[in-house]
Amino acid sequence: SIYEMFGNECCLSTGEVIKVIGFKINKLIASICENNEVGPFSAKVELPLNFPGLYKVVADKTPYVSIEEITRKVSIGPTRFGHPCFYSPEDIKLGNFTIKRGEQITFNSVEEVDGTVAVSCGVVRNNQSHSFTLPLSQEGKFYECEDDQIYTLKEIAEWKIPRCRNRVVKLSNTLHTWDCSNPLPENFGGCLVLMPVYEVQAVMKFRKDIVHILSDLDVEVKDITDCYDISSFLQPLSLEDIFERTSKEFPMVAEIMEGPSESQKPYNLLHTGKEIVIYKKYQATRVLASEIRSDSPKRHFLIPLSYKGKFKRRPREFPTAYDLEIARSEKEQLHVVATKAFDSPHKELFSVSVGDQFLVQQCQTSEVLYEGRKKVIDVLACEQILSDTYKKVLLPMYMEGGFVEVIHDKKQHQLSGICKEFRLPFNVKVSVRDLSVEEDALAAVPGLQLEEEITDSYLLVSSPSSPVESWEIPVYRLNISVHLLSKDVQAVVPPAAKTMVEEISEEQYYMVRRYENQTLHPPPRPPKKPA
């Protein structure tokens, strides 16, 4: 059989030995459905895995009949995606512990305990975590729990589609405006039934790359695993596989079997067939930043703390009094101007007019008269700036107004200093570009919001032919396959590392954000005073 592989002809001749290293979903056939059901006339569309959007997984209503069936069909693994949750409609008694009916059971990993394979599980009860194991032989009815997390299509394909079952998802958030090239209907907000189309990933004796064979290719094969020395094949490894190795195994030399799709520097140097030295693995801090603009799409960046450019402050905007409390700092007084009027329903609290200026003081409680009764509510103590004096006022914490910061600080700041001195989010503009790099991606951005500090995983690599400099590559955002070479590393001490500002896509931005601290929301507003 001869077939096209990414535009290259690949021949599978009779007698060819192929080592299958994995199965991968190549694309998804999505049926547009009503009420989570596929009708005989449901429209079908083909969706690539990088199709934009964030989706919620709809819990499967068909139960699993045993723990063994769950381990066979559901992905359970060490990453945050690999911890599916189920519940049983009946109590399950395990020695000295009983799982109550309806209780959410989190499946953490599949382990061998005393020669028997079992699943390590946990339940949270009264804010306390309880761990236990369930044997594969455990039978019963196990239903999927509702999942309030959001996922990209790629994550769903890799982790959330059980084998031999379809998956229903609901579109949660589109990442771009609709256009005629979008296969989904305009303003679509319904459910999709996803049916995966697989490809087989394999290595062949005389090829140094990974071969991708679609599962519907008309080729007959015979399983010879038990009678063949599979160690004679190359062993492809992902960056995640490399990162899981112990620190003692570094440095190592590897050859790239499949390079990344990214074309930006330095990732364009990591092409198929190139040798690299991987010096070490580590975690590094980055500041997640987004372009300040009212229209979308915004650009997003991960900025290393070693960034050598300088920033000047830009005014922040605050939609509620609660946001003023979050942004308040002991180091400097927060000075704001009201951009929206607010009429207080309580005479004890201040009514705001557009243009009023305030110095924010502190959060406290205050008694107000509400429907004839005294009620204690949270308020924000401020000083209103008048022409020749200051007036102490109280603003309700639920106040839906609008404030813009007045900047008195004209200094230029380094990124590391901003993270130490101020609370994020923080608005800035590059005033002096980073002169240590040829092109500073941040210099042309009119305004940036520094949103939060995150910790990410990196590998430090260099080229063996020019080991003068090394660069960092992100483990979870770069899709590369390598195989290790049995070569000695000349320089054990890694050369000076180049840390770069990394521009990330909107999908990657959402992936990074949702696993950090949840954004705080203002307390609910009390009922309005009856007319």
171 domain residue, yes or no: yes
Nearest-5° angle of CA 497, CA 498, CA 499?
A: 110
Same domain, yes or no: 139 and 150 = no
Q: How much of the chain, in percent, has pLDDT values that exceed 70?
A: 89
The average pLDDT across 263-288 equals: 84
The CB-based long-range contact list for 175-182 (8 Å cut-off, 24+ gap) reads 175/52, 175/53, 175/54, 175/297, 175/506, 175/507, 175/510, 176/52, 176/296, 176/297, 176/506, 177/296
| Residue 278 within any structural domain of the chain | yes
What does the pLDDT read at residue 49?
86
Q: Which phi and psi angles does 333 have, rounded to 5°?
A: -75, 130
For the residues 316-323, what does the mean pLDDT come to?
A: 86
Residue 525 located in a structural domain = no
Adjacent-strand bridge partners of 428: 313, 448
pLDDT for 491 equals: 61
Same domain for 186 and 209: yes
Nearest to 252 by CA among 28, 71, 482, 442: 482
Among 80-89, 116-125, 151-160, 458-467, the range scoring the smallest mean pLDDT is 458-467
- The answer on 309 and 424 residing in a single domain is yes
Structure confidence at residue 37 (pLDDT): 59
Domain housing 130: 67-144
- φ/ψ of residue 69, rounded to 5: -65, -40
Q: Which of 119, 144, 169 is the last residue of a domain?
A: 144
What is the distance between the alpha carbons of residues 85 and 91, in angstroms, rounded to a whole number? 16
Mean pLDDT confidence for 159-178:
78
Residue at 523 is within a domain: no
Q: What is the pLDDT of residues 60-85, one digit of tens each?
A: 999 999 999 999 999 888 777 889 99
What confidence tier does 127 reach under pLDDT thresholds 50, 70, 90? confident
292, 333: one domain: no
Contact 441, 503 (CB under 8 A): yes
Does some domain include residue 168? yes
Residue 508, phi then psi, degrees to nearest 5: -65, -35
Shared-domain flag, residues 24 and 167: yes
Burial of 242 (0-12, 13-18, 19+ CB in 10 A): buried
Residue 135 near residue 67, CB atoms below 8 Å: yes
pLDDT by residue (tens digit) across 418-457?
888 888 888 999 999 988 888 888 988 989 999 989 888 8
Which residues is 9 bridged to in the sheet? 4
Whether residues 426 and 415 share a domain: the answer is yes
Residues 256-281, mean pLDDT to the nearest whole number: 81
Tell me if 530 is assigned to some domain: no
Cα–Cα distances in angstroms (integers) from residue 526 to residues 156, 221, 305, in the given order: 40, 69, 42
pLDDT of residue 217: 75
| Residue 293 CB-half CA count within 13 A | 10
For residue 524, tell me if it sits in a domain.
no
Give the pLDDT score at 238: 87
Sole residue written with tokens 């319904």: 190
Residue 307 sits in the same domain as residue 412:
yes
Query: Cα(469)–Cα(487) distance, rounded to whole angstroms?
Result: 20
Examine the domain organization and report whether 415 and 508 are in the same domain.
yes
CATH number of the domain that residue 392 is part of: 2.30.30.40
Predicted pLDDT at 70: 94
Q: Does residue 266 sit in the same domain as residue 345?
A: no
Pick the range with the lowest mean pLDDT from 142-146, 270-274, 492-496.
492-496
SS3 (DSSP) at 415: helix
* Domain count along the chain: 4
pLDDT of residue 477: 84
Q: What's the whole-number average pLDDT of the chain?
A: 83
pLDDT, residue 263, reads 65
Q: What is the pLDDT of residue 9?
A: 56
- Rounded distance between C-alpha atoms, residue 22 and residue 238, angstroms: 12
Helix (H), strand (E) at residue 374: strand 373-385
Q: Which among 248, 215, 252, 247 has a CA at the least distance from the CA of 237?
A: 252
528 inside domain? no
What residues contact 56, with CB distance under 8 A and at least 6 apart?
147, 148, 149, 150, 151, 169, 170, 172
Domain-terminating residue out of 373, 405, 437: 405
Does residue 424 share a domain with residue 302? yes
Q: In whole angstroms, give the CA distance from residue 56 to residue 53.
A: 10
Q: Give the pLDDT mean for 248-277.
A: 82
Token representation of residue 429: 């503009």
In the block, residue with structure tokens 């239903």 = 143
Q: Give me the amino acid identity at 249.
A: E
The residue count for the chain: 531
Question: Based on the domain organization, do 18 and 53 belong to the same domain?
Answer: yes
- CA-CA distance, 409 to 332, in Å (whole number)? 10
**Res 269 pLDDT > 80:** no
pLDDT exceeds cutoff 80 at 133? yes
Q: Of 208, 234, 260, which closes a domain? A: 234
How far apart CA 325 and CA 322 sit, in angstroms, is 5
Cis amide prior to 266 (ω within 30 degrees): yes
Written as six digits, the tokens of 133 are 């194991």
Of 294-308, 332-346, 430-444, 495-509, which range is least confident? 495-509
What is the model's pLDDT at position 5? 59
The answer to whether the CB of 202 falls within 8 A of the CB of 18 is yes
Query: Residue 503 corresponds to which tokens in the numbers above?
Result: 């521009």
What's the pLDDT at 531? 39
pLDDT of residue 181: 64
The pLDDT value given to residue 337: 94
Rounded to an integer, what distance in angstroms lies between the CA atom of residue 321 and that of residue 378? 11
DSSP H helices, 233-320, are 239-243
Strand ranges for 240-372 from DSSP E: 252-258, 275-291, 300-304, 310-313, 317-320, 334-338, 357-370
479 in the same domain as 347 = no
Q: What is the pLDDT of residue 333?
A: 86
Cβ burial, residue 529 (10 Å; 0-12/13-18/19+): exposed
**Pair 259, 272: CB distance under 8 Å:** yes
Please say whether the dihedral angle defined by the alpha carbons of residues 317, 318, 323 and 325, taken in this order, is positive or negative: positive
Q: What is the pTM of this model?
A: 0.62
Tell whether the model's pLDDT for residue 212 goes beyond 70: yes
Interatomic CA distance for residues 93 and 100, integer angstroms: 9
User: Mean pLDDT over residues 223-245, rounded?
Assistant: 85
